[in-house]
Structure 1
Amino acid sequence: MSIVELRQYTLHPGARDTLIELFEGEFVAGQEAVGIGLGGRFRDLDDPDRFVWLRSFPDLASRAPMLGAFYSGPVWQAHREAANATMADSDDVLLLRGPGFAAQAGEVVTLTICHLADSVAAAHVERTLADGALGVHRTEHAENTFPALPVREDAEVVLWFTPGDHRPEHAGRPVERVEVLRLEHV
């Protein structure tokens, strides 16, 4: 299992395509060049000002050096002002343990994020996921080793992807709150 960041960006109105163009043209190759795995990169079908993406690291120890190499490197330095100008908020980040997840261009998937009371509830939800769940991830409780980029430390989640526009059932599960995002891979 890898260390994965689920990053949800709130963008300024009309800026999503600009950020996606930067991502696909510059940031994918730039991050992969320093060893960061880039998984799904998605448009939120219900919010035109949201961009959701995942990146992964082999382990927690490699995360800080890889992020440092990218953010101090030439690709980010050349394009950071343009990227930051698209973002209203980039701090909704979950640090997770899981396999990562990628989809095909244009593929629609549903991301279900179950917010739970504690790790016992998380273990129960993880064991009892609906059929067809892909890319199951769970909160990684570890220190943020790259504090220049905040991660949410207040979350206990289990999340997963399902193909298509799938509305999951949660009856009888110890779930405090559920977020369901309909996403299209860029």
Structure 2
Amino acid sequence: MRRYALRPGHFDDLQRVFQPWFIAGQEHAGMRLGGQFRDRNDPDRFVWFRGFASMDQRREALESFYSGPLWQAHRDAANATMIDSDDVLLLRPTEPDHRPGVSVATGQPGPTVDPTWVVAQVWSLPTADLEAWLTTAGHPILQRALGVPVAMWRTEPAENTFPRLPVRDGRFVVSLTVFRDGEQWSMAAARLDDDPGWRRIADRLSDAGATSKVSHLQPTATSGHPVPTAAPPHPAVAG
């Protein structure tokens, strides 16, 4: 999960490089790109996901792309739009898996943005036990209260195999949910606040020193944003 802070007003400038060049170029190098989003509350923030089959394959794919001609040709234009590109989480599926499927507005990349409301929540957790508890006991309660499928990942504990691209230290759980619009999300959030099971979980997390951040995301035109469904296996590592 990569979260870029961009220079004010430069989101579209980055997309003019990212969409025609970097999506196909990274997939050709062996990565799989998932959701690509603009933060609805921070229009100068770009949030996106890419996946890998394994940590070794991640190293090979990143080495191939970042030493290849596409990145060399367009990196200056991309980097000129950015203030910070190091807010990166290295993730793996939870146990049991709560993986996403993939959808786009028309089934093909194009100018029509899928009008769904995507909500990402990132928990920063102090212990491995708390991470495991949230992704097992907490997940079904969260999903029941929200009334929609919840995709979820946790920190990949392996060493970063491509240190040229740093990742954040710590323990994290990330969830993604997809709603029809902001009104549907607001109704789901109210149910969550009123749910006694979720209140107990939230209290335990707070007492343990866990923190969380919720982001409301708008898919870009080329986003294959995650929608949790019964789907074929997806890459095991994201970052």
CA distance in structure 1 between the partners assigned to 2:119 and 2:68 by the alignment? 34
Matched AA of 2:199: A
SS of the aligned residue for 1:124 comes to helix
- More displaced 10-residue stretch of structure 1: 122-131 or 95-104: 95-104
Counterpart for residue 172 of structure 1: 200
Residue in 1 that maps onto 2:47: 52
* 1:30 matched to 2:25: yes
Q: Cα deviations across residues 96-138 of structure 1 (Å, max 9, x unaligned)?
A: 0024664534332100111111111011111112112432100
Q: Aligned equivalents of 2:78 and 2:216: distance in 1?
A: 24
Q: Distance between the aligned counterparts of 2:199 and 2:126, measured in 1?
A: 16
Give the whole-Å Cα distance in 2 for the aligned partners of 1:171 and 1:101. Answer: 29
Q: Give the residue type in structure 2 aligned to 1:34.
A: A
SS of match in other structure, 2:166 = coil
Give the structure-2-normalised TM-score. Answer: 0.71
Do structure 1's residue 162 and structure 2's residue 171 form an aligned pair? no
Change (3 A) 1:112 1:102: farther
Q: In the alignment, is residue 76 of structure 1 matched against residue 71 of structure 2?
A: yes
C-alpha distance in 1, partners of 2:47/2:9?
15
Q: Does 1:89 align with 2:98?
A: no
Select which of 137, 152, 159 maps to 2:153: 137
Structure 1 unaligned blocks of 5 or more = 1-5
Unpaired runs of 5+ residues, structure 2, are: 94-98, 105-112, 221-239
Bigger helix share: 2
- The number of aligned residues is 180
1:61 aligned residue (51, 56, 65):
56
Partner of residue 131, structure 2: 122
SS of residue paired to 2:89: strand
- Quick one: which of 218, 227, 231 aligns to 1:184? 218
* Structure in which a larger fraction of residues adopt strand: 1
TM-score, structure 1 normalization: 0.91
For residues 115 and 121 of structure 1, the distance between their equivalents in structure 2, rounded to whole angstroms, comes to: 10
Secondary structure of 2:199's partner? Answer: coil
After superposition, the C-alpha distances for 1:38-68 in whole angstroms (9 at most, x for unaligned) are 0000000000110000000001111111000
Amino acid at match of 1:152: R
Choose 48-57 or 166-175, whichever is displaced more.
166-175
State percent identity of aligned pairs. 42
AA in 2 matched with 1:116: L
Deviates more, 1:8-17 or 1:18-27: 18-27
Give SS of 2:218's match.
Answer: strand
Letter in 1 for 2:176: F
Q: Which residue is equivalent to 2:225?
A: none
CA distance in 2, matches of 1:159, 1:103: 19
Task: Indicate how the Cα distance of structure 1 residues 100 and 54 shifts in structure 2: closer, same or farther if over 3 A, else same.
Answer: farther
Residues in 2 aligned to 1:163 and 1:37: alpha-carbon distance in whole angstroms: 20
In structure 1, C-alpha distance between the alignment counterparts of 2:66 and 2:53, rounded to whole Å? 18
C-alpha distance 10-100 of structure 1, shift in aligned 2 (>3 A): farther
1:14 and 2:4 are equivalent in the alignment: no
Query: Secondary structure of 1:48's match?
Result: strand
Is the contact between residue 42 and residue 53 of structure 1 (CA under 8 Å) also seen in structure 2? yes
Larger radius of gyration: 2
